[in-house]
Amino acid sequence: MIIFVLAIVMTAGSTVMADYPDDVIEFTIPWSPGGGSDTLMRITANYLSDELGVDIVIHNRPGASGTMGLREHLDEPNDGYYIGQVHEGLIVSHHTGVTDLNFDDFDYVGGITNSPQYLAVSNDLPSDFDEFVEYAQNNQIHVGTTMAGIPHAQLAMLEEAIDANFNYVGYEGTGERVEGLAGGHVDAIVVDYASGYEYVEGGYFQFIAAATEERTDDLPDLETFQELGVDVTWNIVRSITVPPGTDADRVAVLEEALGNVAENPEFQEDITNAGAEVFFMTSEELTEYYSEFDELVEELGM
């Protein structure tokens, strides 16, 4: 009798999972159309839709450094039909007082992309990194950043690591920071390859270090901070989240589908062409990564 009951339960559970998802999935992107998160998540949504066999409808909900949309997402039904996008910016916004939300308010499906970052500096500053460090230790460097955003935290990491004293100049986003450096208004910025390489090729400024674990295919001759003796890496890991309390079995279905998307060569090519890299992390790995980053930002005392 016990075996028979268990069989019924297991069969019923399998049927439930086989039926999920069977309706449209709503996807909150807490940023404006056209930006890095929007571009990469739209690519991801297209492939995830094909993998799951249902439509995914995107809702751009920008505001307050991406936290307004996440506030709405937090309160959405936790039935597996509502997903959102988070990256390290939420953690920085939390510790700088922009929002009381933090990464651990959500449950996670997994990480999917990373945008490698570089240190770009004015042509008036040394092109050799060691000489740049010496200059920065003896002169005040004006750095362009998005205040209370990821670039702010990233530059604070570097400032502490090289014992420099940066003067932070606020810009709304990557495009404005790039224009600020190209126009000679600041001395250095954090930038991704796609946003900066045309300006480097045009002679407006220079890349002097990669903030990645290893050298990148885009700039294979550019040394990393690690190679240069500075224990700093900069990532922007974009992930898929769900409202807290979402059924674990449904999250597992989404996680498996996201992992399959990450292995798709066409998806990998599309993400590379968009200036990022596929960087799949399981929900467990992602939570551990965000937790470590949370501790790091707290220690920075921003």
Within 8 A by CB and 6+ apart from 167, the residues are 140, 141, 142, 143
Q: Return the pLDDT at 301.
A: 83
Beta bridge partners of 28: 59, 84
Residues in the chain, total: 302
- Listed by start position, the domains of the chain span 23-113+235-300, 117-210
Equal fold, 23-113+235-300 vs 117-210: yes
Question: What is the model's pLDDT at position 194?
Answer: 84
Per DSSP, the three-state class of 281 is strand
Is the distance from CB of 107 to CB of 283 less than 8 angstroms? yes
What pLDDT sits at residue 12? Answer: 41
Please list the pLDDT of the chain residue by residue as tens digits (302 residues).
Answer: 333 344 444 444 433 456 999 999 999 999 888 888 999 999 999 999 999 999 999 999 998 888 999 999 999 999 999 999 999 999 999 999 999 999 999 999 999 999 999 999 999 999 999 999 999 999 999 999 988 889 999 999 999 999 999 999 998 778 889 999 999 999 999 999 988 999 999 999 999 999 999 999 899 999 999 999 999 999 999 999 999 999 999 999 999 999 999 999 999 999 999 989 999 999 999 999 999 999 999 998 87
CA 267, CA 105: separation in Å to the nearest integer?
Answer: 29
The predicted structure's pLDDT at residue 179? 94
Whether domain 117-210 has CATH 3.40.190.10: the reply is: yes
- CATH superfamily for 23-113+235-300 is Bordetella uptake gene, domain 1 (3.40.190.150)
Its pTM surpasses 0.75: yes
DSSP per position, 170-230 = E-SSHHHHHHHHHTTS-SEEEEEHHHHHHHHHTTSEEEEEE-SSS--SSSTTSPBTTTTT-
